[in-house]
Amino acid sequence: MDILDRLLAHDTWTTQQLLNDCAGLSDELLDKNFDIDHRSLRETFLHMIENLETWTDLIHERPVQDKQGRSIPELRQRLVDVSREFANLARKIARENRFDDSFWDILDNPPRLKTFGGAIGHVLTHNMHHRAQLMYLMEKVGIKDHIEGDLLSWESTAFGWA
């Protein structure tokens, strides 16, 4: 397992754990607004998953698809589906040594060139940023017992060392 595999697996697993921790919350708590970025747990999860879906489409150089599903089970399924596709795409780019190759980000106005490696790194760091916000929001709605979300804790769990 190389560093890319570790980062991809950690990214998906950690977000899944947070979704699982929120599965028992009422819609009222999932949608409760706070004075932070995307304001609620649901909107933050949705933003993260939509971002992953959008960047997967952009890196594939295909039209950006609009996916549906806002419930926790639907968000979990969307995460599983797009994470698998994104990971396969990132690994293909790595195998082909194309991290420094570029593609057009058609959502920029005007469209701009971005590198595959930069986009992959952006997705992974973007999600980590928002997971920290999710943990803050979870504590605000009463979920105090949640994972820290760091890579070494994931590795301990993944490899059975915990």
Domain boundaries, the chain: 3-158
pLDDT band at 17 (very low <50, low <70, confident <90, very high): very high
Total residues belonging to the chain: 162
What is the average pLDDT across 28-40?
96
pLDDT tens for each residue of 35-77: 999 999 999 999 999 999 999 999 999 999 999 999 999 999 9
- pTM for this prediction: 0.95
| Per-residue burial over 60-74, b = 16 or more CB atoms within 10 Å of its CB, e = otherwise | eeeeeeeeeeeebee
Do residues 54 and 64 touch, judged by C-beta distance below 8 A?
A: yes
pLDDT tens for each residue of 141-160: 999 999 999 999 999 998 99
> What's the CATH architecture for 3-158?
Up-down Bundle (1.20)
